[in-house]
Amino acid sequence: ALENEWIDDWYCNPPFDDKLRFIQKAVFEATIMGHSGLMLLPHEPLTDWWIENVEPYADTIYLPDGRYPFYERDGYTKKDGVNFGSCFVLFTPHAGNGQPRQARFERTMQGPAGKAQLKPPAGLNEYLIWSSNLSFELNRRTALNKTAG
């Protein structure tokens, strides 16, 4: 993923232990290549990596109404040790003023027992549809926020 060009409206859920290289790739794709995209990241706005690599380049930071549980690839086994909040960060060619907008949103994806979750779809087709729907919804809300603001 780091060696390939990302197409416009990309979505990235990077390995959190290697997030900095993926954030740098996202910034390159948005600012140099002109490809907007959305990235799932730990929400840690007081850390150096966030202050130096996310704030200066992000367009919008989408903050969910709670924490997402994460699941193993089987889609059913809940991962242990996820003790931090996450957010979606939108990178666009026109951002970079160091003042990303923040948008709160209600989670609408439903999991077992009606609980919201971020669960990886089973196959590539399901993932592409899931990712496109999420990206479309966040882009729609961004457009509404821009018109309202």
Residue 119 pLDDT exceeds 50:
no
Handedness of CA 112, 10, 89, 22 (dihedral sign): positive
Question: What does the block give as tokens for 35?
Answer: 């490809």
Handedness of CA 116, 73, 129, 54 (dihedral sign): positive
pLDDT in tens, 25-51: 999 999 999 999 999 999 999 999 999
**In this structure, are residues 126 and 84 in contact, taking their beta carbons and an 8 Å threshold?**
no
pLDDT in tens, 54-70: 999 999 898 877 776 67
Q: What is the pLDDT of residue 81?
A: 61
In angstroms, rounded to a whole number, what is the distance separating the alpha carbons of residues 109 and 118? 7
Q: How many CB atoms lie within 10 A of CB 102?
A: 12
pLDDT in tens, 93-111: 887 677 888 877 666 555 5
Q: What is the pLDDT of residue 122?
A: 44
Residue 136 pLDDT exceeds 90:
no
pTM over 0.75: no
Residue 141 pLDDT exceeds 60:
no
Q: What is the pLDDT of residue 106?
A: 67
Q: Which residue has the higher pLDDT, 38 or 85?
A: 38
